[in-house]
A and B are shown apart, each in its own frame.
Chain A
Amino acid sequence: MTVLGRREPSHRCGRLILLALSSFAAVALSLPAAAIANDAGLRTTLSLWSNRIASDAQGISLSAARRHPRRMTRRARHFRLDALRAHTALAAIRPSSDRGRRAKRLALAAFSDYAIVGRQWTLSGLARLRGLRAAAVGHARIAARYAKRGSALLVSAKRLLG
């Protein structure tokens, strides 16, 4: 009985240590992945999505120049989707510095503007398909305005990241 009485506190202590080790293990598991999400990750993601957006824009430019409104409309929808995907990807990143956080805000605003650009290009293409030239021009002009603002924001974000 006395032996049991002595062993009880040591068992309890062992359990507490086990519990503490389990907690540390849980925290340690989450740390390596969290460390990835920093300014470098933001820079890489921004660069890759910019590349994709550029490729989409080249296609739209080509379709517009060749007077293929249906194809341009399809590409414009794709452009918008890519802008939204870029926004989602960037929103998930947690920058590690103040500059990174500012760059993220600018980049998010840039891709939001690009999503509007994609929408306006789509509407412009649809208007062209219906023979509504004035509406097509109107939507294209709105797109151009947002494209200019989005591009300025994107370049500013890049400058902040160095």
Chain B
Amino acid sequence: MSTRKLITTVAAFLLLAGAGVAAAFAGNSPSSPANTVTTSTTTCSDDQGQQGDNDEQEAADDVENAATKVTQEAGRTQADDQAGDDQGDDSQGDEPGDNCDD
């Protein structure tokens, strides 16, 4: 009787362990972040529907363009647009992608 209990317990444990491993793999699978990103890009991306083979190249170009722009503006002596910048904290949507901010 105790042997039967032991075997049943071991079998149940193995099943639970299997389910745990499966859940871990599922959690690590790309579907989770992918779904999250899909939801976000649907609302935030300026170029909806253009997602294709060149996403990485476009990302690389956009990051480098942003880097150039940030460097140029950092070195410029012209005063910052305080009014517009302050307004941006309270209102939404005067720059594309504002609703993406936390």
Q: How far is the CB of B86 from chain A (nearest CB, A)?
A: 7
Q: Which of B56, B68, B95 contacts A50 (CB 8 A)?
A: B56
Q: How far is the CB of A23 from chain B (nearest CB, A)?
A: 5
Contacts of A71 in B (CB 8 A): 85, 88-89, 95, 98
Contacts of A128 in B (CB 8 A): 73-74, 80
Residue A75 is within 8 A (CB to CB) of chain B in the complex? yes
Contacts of B18 in A (CB 8 A): 25-30
B interface, over-half SS: helix
Q: How far is the CB of A41 from chain B (nearest CB, A)?
A: 4
Q: Which residue of B lies closest to A162 (CB)?
A: B53
Whole-angstrom CA separation of A144 from B72 in the bound complex: 11
Cβ A29 vs Cβ B97 within 8 A? no
Cβ A42 vs Cβ B70 within 8 A? no
Q: Which residue of A lies closest to B52 (CB)?
A: A47
Q: Mark A85-103, 1 if CB is under 8 A from B, else 0.
A: 1101100111000000000
Q: Which of B30, B77, B96 contacts A59 (CB 8 A)?
A: B96
Also in contact, A55 and B74, with CB within 8 A (given A15-B4, A47-B56): no
Q: How far is the CB of B74 from chain A (nearest CB, A)?
A: 4
Also in contact, A150 and B63, with CB within 8 A (given A65-B69, A78-B101): yes
Cβ A51 vs Cβ B96 within 8 A? no
Counting contact residues on chain B (CB < 8 A from A), the size range is: 35 or more
A 122-162 contacts with B by CB, 8 A: 124, 127-128, 133, 136-137, 139-141, 143-144, 147-148, 150-152, 154-155, 157-158
Q: Which of B51, B69, B81 contacts A47 (CB 8 A)?
A: B51
Whole-angstrom CA separation of A143 from B80 in the bound complex: 20
Q: How far is the CB of B81 from chain A (nearest CB, A)?
A: 5
Cβ B62 vs Cβ A58 within 8 A? yes
B residues whose Cβ falls under 8 Å from a Cβ of A: 3-4, 7, 10-12, 14-15, 17-19, 21-23, 25-34, 37-38, 40-41, 44-46, 51, 55-81, 84-86, 88-89, 95-98, 100-102
A residues whose Cβ falls under 8 Å from a Cβ of B: 15, 18-19, 22-23, 25-30, 32-34, 36-37, 41-42, 44-72, 74-75, 78, 85-86, 88-89, 92-94, 114, 117, 121, 124, 127-128, 133, 136-137, 139-141, 143-144, 147-148, 150-152, 154-155, 157-158
